[in-house]
Structure 1
Amino acid sequence: MRLRPCLAAMVFATVPLTGWAQSEPIAVAEMHDRDGREIGKVVFRQTAAHGVAITAGFISGGLPAGQHGFHVHEKGACAPDFAAAGDHFAPEGHQHGVLALRGAHAGDLPNLHIPKTGEHVVEFFAAALSLEPRTAGNLLDEDGSAVVVHAKPDDYKSQPSGDAGDRIACGVIRRAS
Structure 2
Amino acid sequence: LTPGEHAFHLHAVGKCEPPGFTSAGPHFNPENKKHGKLNKEGHHAGDMDNIRVPANGNVNVTVVDKDITLEKGKPNSVFQDSGTAVVIHANKDDYMTDPAGNAGDRIACGVLTEGAPKSAAAR
Return the TM-score normalized by structure 1.
Answer: 0.63
Amino acid at match of 1:77: K
- Quote the Cα distance in structure 1 between the aligned partners of 2:3 and 2:67: 28
More strand as a share of residues: 1
Structure 2 residue 8 is matched with structure 1 residue 73 = no
Partner of 2:109: 170
2:40 is the alignment partner of 1:101: yes
> What stretches of structure 1 move > 6 A for 4+ residues in a row?
none
Q: Partner of 1:122: helix, strand, or coil?
A: coil
1:145 to 2:84 alignment: yes
Q: Cα distance, 1:133 vs. partner?
A: 2.0
Name the SS for the 1:84 alignment partner: helix
Task: Count how many residue pairs are aligned between Structure 1 and Structure 2.
Answer: 115
Describe the superposition over 1:115-165 as per-residue Cα deviations: whole angstroms up to 9, x where unpaired. Answer: 101122222311111111221211111101100000000000001110000
Q: Deviations over 1:58-104 (max 9, x none)?
A: xxxxx110110000000000114400000000000011011111101
CA RMSD of aligned residues (A): 1.0
State the structure with bigger RCO (CA 8 A, min sep 6), 1 or 2. Answer: 2
Q: SS where residue 72 of structure 1 aligns?
A: strand
2:68 counterpart of 1:129: yes
Find the residue that maps to 1:171 and give its secondary structure: strand
| Bigger fraction of residues in helix | 1
Counterparts of residues 9-158 of structure 1 (less than 5 Å):
63-81=1-19, 82-158=21-97
- Equivalent position SS for 2:22: helix
> What one-letter code is carried by the residue in structure 1 that aligns with 2:88?
V
Distance 1:92 1:119 in 2: 33
Runs of 5+ unmatched residues, structure 1: 1-62
Q: Distance in 1 between matches of 2:77 and 2:27?
A: 14
C-alpha separation in 2, matches of 1:132 and 1:67: 30
Amino-acid identity (%): 43
Mind listing any 5+ residue stretches in structure 2 that lack a counterpart?
117-123
